[in-house]
Amino acid sequence: MEVISLLRGSVIVFLLASGVFFFSVGTLGLLRLPDAFSRMHATTKCDTLGEGLVLIAVMVYFGPGLISIKLFMIMAFIWITNPTAAHIIAKAQYHNPEEHGSSLHPPRELEE
């Protein structure tokens, strides 16, 4: 029984450490990247993955049950809303670059 507990704890620590790593990389990308499109790409990808890993770690900690079902529903909600919100923000930045404090012009392949 101790081996299973040790393995479960190791999986939890690995998932939490991985989630914190991706959150940190997303934050670093938000602070260091030059334009809104790059910043948004870094934060949405890294934060969605980091959130998923942390919530999976919490699910492993609590085991199967109502709490894990609720955590999965939260995870699914964030996986749907985070890319959708990023798309809306990118579209607003694309159509009004000067209003948002950016003189960046989008790449030509995006222009229609």
- Between 30 and 12, where is the model more confident? 12
Token couple for 111:
């222009």
pLDDT band at 108 (very low <50, low <70, confident <90, very high): low
pLDDT for position 14: 96
pTM equals: 0.76
pLDDT for position 112: 54
pLDDT at 5 over 80: yes
In degrees and rounded to multiples of 5, residue 95 shows phi and psi of -80, -20
- Between 98 and 64, where is the model more confident? 64
* pLDDT, tens digit, 9 for 90 and up, residues 23-69: 999 889 888 888 778 888 888 888 889 999 999 999 999 989 999 99
Alpha carbon distance, N-terminus to C-terminus of the chain: 62
Average pLDDT, the chain: 84
Q: Which residues have C-beta within 8 Å of that of residue 86, sequence separation ≥ 6?
A: 40, 41, 43, 44
